[in-house]
Copies of this chain bind each other. A is one copy, B any other.
Amino acid sequence: MYSFWNPEGIPPRTLAPGVTAKIASGEKLMFSLVTLAPNAVVPTHSHPHEQMGMMVSGTMEFTIAGETRVFSGNELYLVPGGVSHSATAGPGGAVALDAFSPPREEYR
């Protein structure tokens, strides 16, 4: 069934200190609209799910497989399944949209 969501109506889920996510999901895709407080950190982790993301606002230092870049604007990234990654928000915080396939069952 098709669906529409206003993120303001989705309860935030805490992923790490200062990091919350609004989750919406289909069968093959899951969206996670992530808000990071200034300088908040998502520790290094990995998961078998493929992940693509887009910066929505702010800046974020993002490390994939040991390579670090600073993202801003609407820059995009791809994290293949099983590849370690971490993020640190800039001094103004950050909002990013992450997409996962398959959906992460632990976030449903």
Q: A residues bordering B, Cβ < 8 Å? A: 1-8, 24, 26-29, 31, 33, 50-52, 54, 56, 64-65, 67, 69, 71, 73-80, 83, 85, 97, 99-102
Contacts and interface: CB of A to CB of B under 8 A. Distances in A.
Given A56-B56, A97-B97, A101-B101, A2 B78 contact: yes
Contact of A77 (B5, B67, B73, B77): B5
Given A2-B65, A24-B52, A69-B4, A33 B76 contact: yes
B101 A5 contact: no
A45 B52 CA distance: 25
18 contacts: A1-B80, A5-B75, A6-B76, A7-B74, A24-B76, A26-B50, A26-B52, A26-B80, A28-B50, A28-B101, A29-B51, A29-B78, A29-B99, A31-B52, A31-B76, A52-B99, A56-B56, A56-B74
